[in-house]
Every structure is written in structure tokens, then in C-alpha cells.
Amino acid sequence: MSGPIQIQPDETFILNIGPQHPATHGVLRIKMEMDGEYIVKAETVLGYIHRMHELMGENRTYPQVLPNLSRLDYLGAMGYTHCHVLAIERAAGIEVPERAEYIRVITVELNRIASHLFWFGAFVMDLGGFTPLMYAIQDREYILDALEGITGSRLTYCYHSFGGVANDIDDDFIKATRAIIPMMRKSLKKYEALVTGNIIFRKRLEGIGPISAEMCRKYGATGAVARGSGIDFDVRKNEPYSVYSDFDFDVPVYHECDSLARYMVRMDEMEQSLRIIEQGLDKLPDGPIMPAKKPKLIKPPVGDYYQAVETARGSFGIRLVSDGTKNAYRFKLRSPTYSNMSLFDEACEGMLLMDALAMLGSLDLVIPEIDR
């Protein structure tokens, strides 16, 4: 009371997070108006890694733009190329052999696990625990090795192609994948014992970072963010595409709406992906991986098409407006993290800075995918 400095109770200051900050996992900037440790208002600034993929989609032919799709989300690239080939196949009416679809599903699910593993490690690192990242990266390495054998790349795959897949899978891949399943199940138990039950971890997440189901709807949030808020929505189940309707798997839903719920959804999803891979390998039909008749030049008929898939981060969609030529007239990419991130400004108001960063981690952001 008698100190020389009078602190005004309503005095706020601006805190700039990013664009180069480890907690944002990329070049994302958030301007925050702070009242002490509490956030009064936040504004996200995007565009630091914007590359205009949509214009490239108009300037290049459909096969030429395929590699661009895996540059959106480098952690779960397989799902994005899957969406692109499905969209073009729907528009151009290309039939896909069943074996190719099974291989696509197996690779997409393997990639989903790899993506979740990396998120898991990075998320726990955000909260101050470094060791789980090392375990997660080690497990992820086996998956990347297996995928590298058939696709030739470790991160930015260009494996799915129009009508099927580029290479058939070999015995090495099947053997490696069969070995990954029990190994991952053991690892998931290990993570549960090491991280999920940890008291410090739970105190940082339980009841923190609430995102209501209504907020999800207004912002169009999908993926684990929506499923952590009690919304039973997974494109693989709600709007089945590819051969997902042949598989028996569950969609984990948690109703707590907090950061822990989003964490739990992703941890449970890895087990479900393992189930899909297991069934896929058991049921894998014989046959060709490319249709016998495929147009040399892909020219979808005039029209407007939409294709949605469930990637590791949520519902990804492509809106394709074709004018009948070999280039798209309009090539819109609906990215899931863009919508998931857009609710952060409203959701973090009134939160402690530390808690907001924990919530930011639980959204599972990949910035190149937001900025496109």
C-alpha cells in the first residue's frame, strides 16, 4: 500500500507468442492481451508459411498437383493424398480395384498412428516431459521404415495414385506391419503407465481448456477436438468412403470437453487404427492394384464435386470445380486444423497462459496445413 509504484488493476499488456516459438509447433503467431497471467483477448495471425496450394492446383494438371497434397500436413500426408485421388476418381468416374483400396486404408492408418505418436511426444514435451517424445519417435521409426519400403519416402508420400496405388505391397511390408501391431499395443500400455496416469500431467489437463459441443459446431471443429467434446463424428463412420465400411472399429468419444479428453481420444484412436490394419491384412484380397482401363489424360466432366476424408487431424475436404479440361477450374482445400484453430481465440479468453498453451497443444496443430 505504501510502495511508490501504483499498479492499476485494469492495466493490460500485449504478449506476442511466435512466430518462432516452440509451443506453436511451427510459424504461428498469437497476439495476446494479458492481465497478469490471464488472457483477456487473443488474436491469431496466420500466413507465415502460406504457399497458395489452391492456385497451384489450378495451374497444374491433376497428377502434377498430387505431390502438393502431402506438403500440407507432413505428419499425416497419406490421408491427404488419399482425399485427392478419391476426389478425382469420383469426378472422373475411375474404378479402383479392391486390393488397392485395402492397401490405401492400411497405409493411411499406419500413417495416422505415426502422426498421433509424434503429436503425443510433442504434446507431453509442451507440458514439460521430454522422455515420452524419445519413446514415441522410436516407435514411429518402425512405421516410417515399413512405409519407406513400399512408398520410397518417409514423410511426404506420393504413393496413392489415380485408380490405385503406385506399388504393390511385398512380404517385407506385411511382415514389418504384422510386427508393428503387437509392438504398438505394448507401447500404448507403456504410455498409459508412464504418462496418462501421471498426477502432474493430469493436473495440467483435467477440466482445463473447455471447448463445448456448441462451440465446435459454430466453428466447424472436427476430428479429436469434436470427439473430445462429446460429438460422435468421424467421416470414416458418418460418411463411409473407400472400404471403411468393411472394417469393424469404434470411434472413441469423450464428453469431458477438456484437454485431457482430446488426449484420450487420440490415444484410443491408435488402438482402433491397429484393429483396422489387422483386419486389413487378414482380409487383403488378391488382384491388380491398378484398373485395367484407365484414361491416359484425366479430364473430369464439367461439374462441382466434394470429397471428405478423416485425416489424423479431422475432416479434410476437397471442393473441385471442373471445366472439363486437364486442370481444375477451382481447387479448394478444406483443412481441419484451420477450423480447429479458429476457435482458439474465443476459447482461451480468461484462461491462464500456461493452460492456454496446453490447450493449444491438445488441438494438434500442423501449421503448413492451416496456411496451405
Partner 1 sequence: MTMIKETVKLALQDLFPDPPPVVEEPVAEAAAEGDEEKKKPAKKKEEPRVNGVIERNHAEHGYDVDVQLEPGQLLAAVMILDRAGFFLESITGVDWIKEDQLESVYDFSRYDFDICRVVIRTRTSRSEPKIPTISKIYAGASWHERETHDFFGIKFDGHPHLIPLLLPEDADFHPLLKDFKP
Question: Under the rule (CB under 8 A), what is the footprint of partner 1?
Answer: 46-47, 50, 52, 54-55, 58, 87, 90, 216-220, 226, 231-233, 237-239, 301-308, 315, 317, 319, 321, 324, 329-330, 332, 334, 338-339, 342-343, 346, 371-372
| Nearer of residues 94 and 226 to partner 1, judged by Cβ | 226
Task: Provide, rounded to whole angstroms, the least separation between the CB of residue 325 and partner 1.
Answer: 10
Task: Provide, rounded to whole angstroms, the least separation between the CB of residue 113 and partner 1.
Answer: 25
All 3 cell numbers of residue 211? 471447448
| Nearer of residues 138 and 325 to partner 1, judged by Cβ | 325
| Nearer of residues 84 and 372 to partner 1, judged by Cβ | 372
Task: Provide, rounded to whole angstroms, the least separation between the CB of residue 42 and partner 1.
Answer: 13
| Rounded-to-integer distance, Cα 342 and Cα 335, Å | 11
Cβ contacts of 1-6, under 8 Å, gap ≥ 24: none
Beta strand ranges found along 58-192 (DSSP E): 160-161, 164-165
| Nearer of residues 185 and 217 to partner 1, judged by Cβ | 217
Task: Provide, rounded to whole angstroms, the least separation between the CB of residue 92 and partner 1.
Answer: 12
Contact 194, 202 (CB under 8 A): no
All 3 cell numbers of residue 334? 478444406
Contact 126, 353 (CB under 8 A): no
Contact 40, 13 (CB under 8 A): no
Question: What would the DSSP string read from start to end of 282-349?
Answer: HH---S-SS-S---SS--PPSEEEEEEEEETTEEEEEEEEE-SSSBEEEEEEE-HHHHHHHTHHHHTT
| Nearer of residues 90 and 202 to partner 1, judged by Cβ | 90
| Nearer of residues 217 and 255 to partner 1, judged by Cβ | 217
